[in-house]
């Protein structure tokens, strides 16, 4: 029987590039369903497991998605090895399977060391031939010095730049820890004859954008959908999130998005106060209130469908959270109107005829 994950995630027609910004509380997880001929490839960018704010249980969701099918995640992409972008990677590898791993090349220190061990475990299991480092490039589909196509879509790896990786690698653990968001993966995915773009930014911060990305990649930045960096944090606009200065907005103006997705819980549920009010105001100023989608506001996912002609459709979904949300109330699950309808409808037979 078709489950919720299959029903909502798998497009009913071929040639649709579907991006699902999953609500995972304080963290990121974006599932890409990529057209590949008449079939689809599945790519997960980052993963988080947040029990405190009812985020989606990503392992449970993927198990349902691939149930009855002998398939794995085609690619797992980690923008940077922080816990809220990497949780459950080992379980995903062991219980669902991963064909390829793309990562930023950062080696973290501090509290994120343990979860990095999980990433290392997966890298080791996959072997060098299936593990690729993200390196900023001007070329389409260039990954770790090779051209690697991802189904029928194109992509640009914009960050981290190779020189940034080299520079940070040589630093002390403390500095490496501090500069992790400067070495964060940023990837733009493109599809459709009338091309539309989705920009994934991880937690890339002010330094990354100002020093390494905006100017160098200005032709590759414009994107229809922007996944706001660092859960709507001020660190996208201000150095060290210091809002006393004027915000840096060149990158946002260059990206020139139509829609902005902010992956964060409700501010009061976020231990970091994400999304920051000042950042949200700037996003709203850029695209308008109705075009900024804060996933935690109503605990919803956002789905973006791009057809092969470039036609785009963005819409919210609350059913995945209802079905796979950690600690979600079981009473809220079920079919259309079932929670209340039972109280008012006196149904006695199935499919009667008169």
Applying CB under 8 A, does 193 fall inside the site for another protein? no
d(Cα 139, Cα 158) in Å, to the nearest integer? 10
Applying CB under 8 A, does 285 fall inside the site for another protein? no
To another protein, the closest distance from the beta carbon of 40 in angstroms equals: 19
Q: Where are the beta strands (DSSP E) in 46-161?
A: 73-78, 98-103, 131-133, 142-143, 146-147, 154-159
d(Cα 23, Cα 265) in Å, to the nearest integer? 8
Tokens matching residue 52: 């405190």
Tokens matching residue 172: 């002390």
Residues 289-318 that bind another protein (CB under 8 A): 290-291, 298, 300, 311-316, 318
| Stretch of residues binding another protein (CB under 8 A), selected from 118-126, 137-145, 246-254, 288-296 | 288-296
The one-character DSSP state at 209 is: I
To another protein, the closest distance from the beta carbon of 291 in angstroms equals: 6
Applying CB under 8 A, does 240 fall inside the site for another protein? no
Q: Which is nearer to another protein, 173 or 288 (CB)?
A: 288
Applying CB under 8 A, does 256 fall inside the site for another protein? no
| 255 contacts 236 by C-beta, under 8 angstroms | no
| 197 contacts 188 by C-beta, under 8 angstroms | yes
Applying CB under 8 A, does 74 fall inside the site for another protein? no
Among 206, 236, 259, 283, binds another protein (CB under 8 A): 259
What is the CB-side half-sphere exposure of residue 225 using CA atoms within 13 A? 26
Among 130, 241, 243, 258, binds another protein (CB under 8 A): 258
Applying CB under 8 A, does 336 fall inside the site for another protein? yes
Neighbours of 332 (CB within 10 A): 13
H or E, element range at 111: none
To another protein, the closest distance from the beta carbon of 169 in angstroms equals: 41
To another protein, the closest distance from the beta carbon of 228 in angstroms equals: 16
Q: Which is nearer to another protein, 122 or 320 (CB)?
A: 320
Among 14, 37, 173, 337, binds another protein (CB under 8 A): 337
To another protein, the closest distance from the beta carbon of 290 in angstroms equals: 5
Applying CB under 8 A, does 271 fall inside the site for another protein? no
d(Cα 178, Cα 196) in Å, to the nearest integer? 34
To another protein, the closest distance from the beta carbon of 354 in angstroms equals: 12
Contacts of 251 (CB under 8 A, 6+ apart): 209, 210, 213, 214, 221, 236
SS3 label, residue 81: coil
- By the criterion CB under 8 A, which residues form the site for another protein? 258-259, 288, 290-291, 298, 300, 311-316, 318, 334-338, 340-345, 347, 350-351
């Amino acid at each position: 029987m078709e489950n919720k994950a299959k029903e909502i995630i798998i497009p009913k027609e071929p040639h649709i590039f579907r991006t699902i910004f999953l609500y995972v509380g304080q963290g990121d997880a974006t599932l890409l369903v990529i057209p590949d001929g008449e079939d689809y490839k599945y790519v997960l960018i980052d993963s988080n497991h947040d029990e405190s704010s009812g985020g989606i249980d990503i392992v449970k969701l993927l198990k349902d998605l691939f149930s009855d099918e002998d398939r794995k995640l085609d690619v797992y992409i980690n923008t940077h090895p922080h816990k809220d972008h990497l949780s459950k990677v080992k379980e995903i590898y062991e219980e669902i399977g991963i064909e390829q791993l793309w990562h930023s090349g950062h080696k973290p220190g501090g509290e994120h060391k343990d979860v990095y061990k999980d990433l290392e475990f997966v890298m080791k299991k996959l072997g060098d031939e299936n593990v690729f480092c993200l390196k900023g490039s001007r070329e389409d589909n260039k990954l770790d010095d090779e051209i690697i196509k991802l189904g029928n879509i194109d992509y640009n790896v914009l960050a981290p730049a190779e020189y940034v990786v080299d520079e940070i690698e040589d630093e002390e653990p403390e500095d490496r820890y501090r500069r992790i968001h400067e070495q964060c993966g940023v990837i733009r995915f493109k599809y459709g004859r009338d091309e539309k773009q989705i920009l994934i930014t991880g937690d890339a911060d002010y330094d990354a954008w100002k020093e390494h990305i905006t100017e160098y990649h200005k032709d590759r930045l414009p994107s229809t959908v922007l996944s706001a960096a660092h859960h709507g944090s001020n660190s996208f606009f201000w150095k060290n999130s210091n809002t006393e200065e004027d915000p840096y907005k060149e990158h946002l103006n260059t990206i020139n998005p139509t829609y902005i997705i902010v992956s964060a819980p409700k501010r009061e549920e976020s231990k970091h106060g994400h999304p920051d009010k000042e950042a949200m105001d700037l996003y709203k100023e850029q695209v308008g209130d109705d075009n900024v989608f804060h996933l935690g506001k109503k605990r919803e996912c956002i789905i973006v469908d791009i057809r092969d002609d470039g036609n785009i459709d963005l819409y919210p979904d609350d059913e995945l959270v209802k079905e796979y949300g950690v600690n979600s109330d079981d009473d809220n699950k079920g079919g259309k109107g079932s929670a209340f309808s039972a109280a008012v409808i006196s149904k006695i037979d199935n499919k009667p005829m008169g």
